[in-house]
């Protein structure tokens, strides 16, 4: 049975665009680096140095990630600080994948009928 929207209330189109934004090794590395950096985020120059992605390529990837709600950007003085999306956003997208974990598994069906 096909489910259009798991219990997370995240529309399929939103989930698809978010996962599409992560569909590049470089963009995934940017998000992982920002998650590791924590709530303080990183200046674009430092982010580029840590990921090995610089200049217009990094700017391009950040634009895609920001549009998907996975990265934030904030000007602080002369620097632009990038941060990972808040943890609630990360939990929501993770929950989308896990919300129906093992729902069609024989063991799960057996437990729900015996329960």
pLDDT at 3: 43
pLDDT band at 100 (very low <50, low <70, confident <90, very high): confident
Domain ranges (residues) in the chain = 12-114
Query: Could you please report the per-residue DSSP string of the chain?
Result: ---SS-TT---HHHHHHHHHHT-SHHHHHHHHHHHHH-TT-EEHHHHHHHHT--HHHHHHHHHHHHHTTSEEEEEETTEEEEEEPPHHHHHHHHHHHHTTTTTT-HHHHHHHHH-
For residue 109, pLDDT over 70 is answered with no
CA 100, CA 109: separation in Å to the nearest integer?
A: 12
Tokens linked to 88? 């609630």
| pLDDT score, position 99 | 87
Pick the CATH number of 12-114 from 3.30.379.10, 3.90.1300.10, 1.10.10.10, 3.30.1330.30: 1.10.10.10
**Res 9 pLDDT > 50:** yes
List pLDDT tens digits, range 10-60. 888 988 999 999 999 999 999 999 999 998 999 999 999 999 999 999 999
Token pair in block for residue 87: 């943890």
pLDDT for the residue numbered 19: 92
């Amino acid at each position: 049975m096909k489910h259009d929207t798991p219990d997370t209330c995240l529309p399929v189109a939103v989930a698809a665009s978010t996962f599409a934004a992560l569909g590049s090794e470089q963009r995934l590395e940017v998000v992982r680096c920002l998650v590791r950096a924590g709530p303080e985020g990183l200046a674009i120059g430092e982010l580029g140095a840590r990921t090995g992605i610089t200049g217009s390529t990094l700017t391009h990837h950040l634009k895609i990630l920001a549009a998907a709600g996975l990265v934030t950007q904030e000007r602080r003085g002369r620097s632009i600080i990038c941060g990972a999306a808040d943890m609630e956003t990360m939990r929501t997208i993770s929950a989308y994948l896990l919300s129906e974990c093992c729902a069609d598994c024989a063991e799960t069906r057996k437990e729900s009928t015996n329960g």
